[in-house]
Amino acid sequence: MKPLNIGMIGYGFMGRTHSNGYRQANRFFDLEYQPVLKAVCARNEEKAKAFAEQQGYESIETDWRKLIARDDIDAVDVCTPNNLHKEISIAAAEAGKMVLCEKPLAMSVAEGIEMCEAVEKAGVANMVWYNYRRVPAVTLAKQLIDEGRLGKVFHYRANFLQDWTINADVPQGGAATWRLDAEAAGSGVTGDLLAHCIDTALWLNGDIEDVSAMTETFVKERVHAETGAKQPVTIDDACMFHCHFKNGSLGLFESTRYARGHKALYTLEVNGENASLRWDLHDLHRLEYFDHGDDSIVRGWRSVHVSDGDQPYMGNWWVPGLQIGYEHTFIHQVADFLKSLETGEPAHPNFRDALETQKVCDAVLASAKERCWKNI
Ligand code: SOE
C-alpha cells in the first residue's frame, strides 16, 4: 500500500471525526493508499500533544506554516474555524499538498473562488467535508433519483434543527464557541447547518436558480469567551429560505439553533411525480420511500433499512442487518478520496462543487438582508 501522509490543522470535534476516518478506511475498503497520521498542528502545544496521543499522530506542530512546509506531509486537512480556511488551503496548494477542507468552503464566494483557483492552478487533489452525502441511505436516495424512479421532481424540503444556543449565557468566540462569532465563522446557521442541506440538495436535485430568505438573531448580545467583553451578536441564529431549482421544482429550507428539543435533526424530503423519499439523521440508516407504482391495495411508505450488501457502501460492513452510524460517513469520505487518487477521477464535493453551495449561502444571506429575491 502507498502511504498518504496526513497533516491535520485543528483539533476540535471535526479533527476527531476525520482522524477516525483516516484510521478506519483501509480496514473496510480495499484501497491502494493508506493514510498515515503524520502530524497535527494546534497553537497550544499541550493540546496538540494530547490530541496527537489520543488520535495516534506521530508528531505535532504549533505553527501551521511549518506543517505545510514539511516534506513528509502529502495532504493537509484544514479543520480550523472558517476564517482560516482560505489562507491555509491556498498556502497548502501552493506548497503542492492535497487539501481536504472542512465545510463550509469559505467565508464568502470571493474567498471560495480564490481557493478553487489555487487548487486548480497547483493541480492538487481537493475535497470538502460535506459528509452527509456518504450516509448510505442518502447515497441510496441519489441512486433512486438518478435511476428516474421519482420522475419529475416537484418539491425538495430540508431542515437542520438544533437548540444549543437558546441560553443567552452561552458565550461567543474562543475555541469551543467560535461558531457563534461572525468573525471566525462568517455566518451562523446558514454556513454551519444549511450549507449541509444545500450541498445535499444540489447533489440530489441539481442547481438552484434563485432564493428568497429571512434570518433572525434572537439573542442580540453575548459575552466573548476569551475577553469577557459583551459584544453584539452578528450571526444568523435562524434562517429560512425558499427557492426555485433549475429543474422546475420548489425548495423549502429551514435551520435554527433555537428549536428546543432538537440537538442535530437533519431531515430531507423529495416529492416526485411517481415516488417520494424522505430521510432523517436520527434514524440515519433508514430511507422512507413511497412508490405510486405499487399495487394500490398495499401501496404506502416503505421504511428501507439500508444495511444490505447491495446498498451503497454496505457491502463493506460486516453482515447485512447491522447498521452503521454517523462517524462512518467520514470513513466513507476518506475511502472515496483515496479511491479517487487511485483512479484519477476527482472526489466530490471538491472545492468547485462546494463553491456552488457557497454561492447559495451568500445569496440567502444577501436576500435576508435586503429583503428581496436573489439569483444564484
Ligand atoms: C454544529 O453543531 C455542527 O457540529 C456542525 O458544525 C456540523 O457540520 C454538523 O454536521 C453538526 O452540527
C-alpha cell at 181: 462569532
**Residues 22, 334 contacting (CB under 8 angstroms):** yes
C-alpha cell at 345: 477521477
What's residue 280's pLDDT? 97
Query: What pLDDT digit, counting tens, does each position of 61-93 carry?
Result: 999 999 999 999 999 999 999 999 999 999 999
The residue whose CB lies within 8 Å of the most ligand 1 atoms, and thus the one to mutate among 193, 267, 329, is 193
pTM for this predicted structure:
0.97
Query: What pLDDT digit, counting tens, does each position of 329-358 carry?
Result: 999 999 999 999 999 999 999 999 999 999
- CA separation for the pair 203, 196 (Å, rounded): 11
The residue whose CB lies within 8 Å of the most ligand 1 atoms, and thus the one to mutate among 18, 181, 192, is 192
Count of positions (residues) in the chain: 376
Residues 6+ apart with CB under 8 A from 325: 284
Interval between CA 199 and ligand 1 midpoint (Å): 14
Query: What pLDDT digit, counting tens, does each position of 256-276 carry?
Result: 999 999 999 999 999 999 999
What's residue 318's pLDDT? 82
In which residue ranges of the chain is pLDDT below 70? none
- CA separation for the pair 316, 334 (Å, rounded): 14
Interval between CA 262 and ligand 1 midpoint (Å): 13
Interval between CA 81 and ligand 1 midpoint (Å): 12
**Residues 40, 15 contacting (CB under 8 angstroms):** yes
- CA separation for the pair 276, 154 (Å, rounded): 10
What's residue 192's pLDDT? 98
C-alpha cell at 322: 447491522
Interval between CA 192 and ligand 1 midpoint (Å): 6
Query: Which residue has a Cα nearest atom 8 of ligand 1?
Result: 192
Q: Residue 264: CB within 6 Å of ligand 1? A: yes
- Phi, then psi, of 226 in degrees rounded to 5: -95, -45
